[in-house]
Each structure stands twice: as structure tokens, then as C-alpha cells.
Homo-oligomer: A and B are copies of this chain.
Amino acid sequence: MRIAVDAMGGDNAPDEIISGAMESISLLNEDDELILVGPEAVIKPRLSSLKSRNKGAISVVDAPEIIGMDEAPIESLRKKVKSSIAVMAKLAKNGHTDAVISAGNTGACVAAFQMRMRNLPGVNRPGIAVVFPTFEGPVTICDVGANISCKPINLYQYAVMASMYSKHLLGIEKPRVGLMSIGAEDAKGNEVVKKAREMMKSDPNINFIGNIEGRDIFKGVCDVAVCEGFVGNVILKLTEGLVDGLFKAIKHELIAEKLQLAMKFKPVIARIYKKYDYNEYGGALLLGVNGTSLICHGSSQSGTIKNAILASKKYYTNKINEKIVEYLSSTSVKASDEQAN
């Protein structure tokens, strides 16, 4: 398998990215190949420390331009055709890599990968899936930002794709799927949600538990939570902000109580961060594109990149895309004419 990694993506590029790639080599097969994409002049000197037996496992594809984390996605892609993200997307399009991984500008990644890799047959719109490591187990949330004008068929397909991911990558046999709404009752939700619920209900192969509410994500009632991209993005970022804020408040109170107590609490916080560490899952998967693509957090360090490489390998080896295509070709749930997009 060939895995392309954006050497210039994220706040800690290129060092942490290249380190992550190197760390992963011993965990891959001998015939696997890592392709580092970025300015040759930057990458090559950093590979000199590679053990000679690993040299064959890593190649470099030159991409001299860099898209910044805050640049406007579409505009930057248009201007910087030699950026690592643009070059990686092209590699995937031309069949020169089986997977793409980046910790760079998320919007640019999503746009470039969607545009170049195209959709899997039967998929109307790709969605981004992330795994929330909750206190009751991992919950896969889809979509968290690829599609902010969802139609019912999109939500239905997110349920299908995220279930596949949950089953084959996380090992959950019959993932329970919840549809994000504002109340558990069937009548709750907007029109898109109501129609999507009917679609999910009518498919006996989805383990659909009905509507869920925001609080249910942390209650262990579902393994997959489906929502439109705007809502999912708010969920993702709110969670991040709230956890940080809450730990700040706890620390403040502990210090006010007794400095010694705060010191004792430190390893506990560290353990919680480690236990509920989303970096374990490598990154977010762009489900529904014709290829394997992972988008990592901008703050990713080598361990996350390593995990992303291993996750892409697992996704590819488990033929999840093939399973999605097969499922969607045989399901009786189809988009009505006005819903197809």
C-alpha cells in the first residue's frame, strides 16, 4: 500500500510529521510505501537519520508551495497548485497513492480531496467522521463540517458509512446509530431530519435507535451520531473548548484550595487526557470520496501522524470503501429526484 503524507501540514510540520512517518515504518508491511509530499529541500536532509533498511520505505514527492493554516481554502488551492495539499490530491486522483494524510488547512484538504478524488459510486456527498472517545466508549460523529447544506439522503448515507467505519475500524459489531435532533420524540427536528429518520428507519440493516439529543453523545446510548456538517462542527469545537475551559476552572479552584492538592490532581488530568485522547484515532476520515483520506488536527504530533498512517492502512485493508459501494448499490433507500445532489 502507498500512503502519501503532507510533510508541511499543521503547526508542528515538518519535524513532527516526518518523525511520525518514520515511527510508523516498523509497524507497516515491507512492501508498504510512504510518500512524503512537500519541498524536497526541506524534507530530504531530515531523512538522513533513517536506518538504511528503511530507506526504501520512504520516498519524496516535491511540492514547493505551502498553504497556511488560515488561508482561504478555495483561493489558496487555485493559487498554489504546487502546494503539498494540491499535489497530494493529484497523486490520489492519478492512482499514484492509495491514501492521503494531512494535518494542514482542513478546508483546503476537504476541497482538494473532494474535487480530485471524486465521490464513491452511489455517494451523493462526502462527510467528515471523527471519533469522540467518551466516558462510555468511542462515538463516531459524521458529518463535522464537509456538508453544511445537507439533504436527507446525505444523512442516511452518513449513517451507512459511519456504521461501516465503526464496525470495521473500531470493532463494534452492530453500531447503534442515533440521529442528532432536539428531542427524542419522532416529531422533533427540522424537515431534513424528519425525512432522514424515515430513511434510516426503513433500512433494516442500520441499527437505528432514533433521535438523540446533544447530551446523549456522552451517555453511551449510541456508537454513531449522524448530523449535518454545521451542527457537527459546532459539536466538535464546543467539546474541545468546554473540556479545556472546565479543566482551567478546576485547576483554578484547586490552587485556591491548596497548591498541594492541585499538584496531586495533575497526574489525574494527564491520565484523563491520555485515556480520552482523540489523537489515538489519528484524525478525521473523509468518508465517501474515492480513496482513503485522513485529516489530522493542526496540533498533531508524531504519535498522531503515526496513528493516522496505521488507521489509513486499516481502512484500506478492510476494503471499507468497497463495502460502502456494495451497500449503497443494494439498499432500497434512494434519493428522490429533488434530493439528489
Contact = CB atoms under 8 A, between A and B. Distances in A.
Interface in A230-256: 230-231, 233-246, 248-250, 252-254
A9 interface: no
A46 interface: no
A336 interface: no
A145 B246 CA distance: 25
A149 to B, nearest CB: 6
In which size bucket is the chain A interface? 35 or more
A162 to B, nearest CB: 17
Interface stretch (A11-19, A152-160, A264-272): A264-272
B190 A214 contact: no
A189 interface: yes
In the complex, which of the residues A187, A238, A252 has the most CB atoms of chain B within 10 Å of its own CB atom? A238
A229 interface: yes
A136 to B, nearest CB: 8
Contacts of A238: 214-215, 217, 235, 238-239
A234 B237 contact: no
11 contacts: A135-B246, A136-B245, A148-B190, A189-B230, A214-B239, A214-B241, A217-B241, A218-B244, A234-B234, A239-B242, A257-B267
Given A182-B234, A190-B230, A216-B237, 20 more contacts: A107-B183, A134-B245, A182-B233, A213-B233, A213-B234, A214-B234, A214-B235, A214-B240, A214-B241, A215-B242, A227-B234, A230-B231, A234-B234, A246-B246, A249-B276, A253-B271, A253-B275, A254-B268, A257-B268, A261-B268
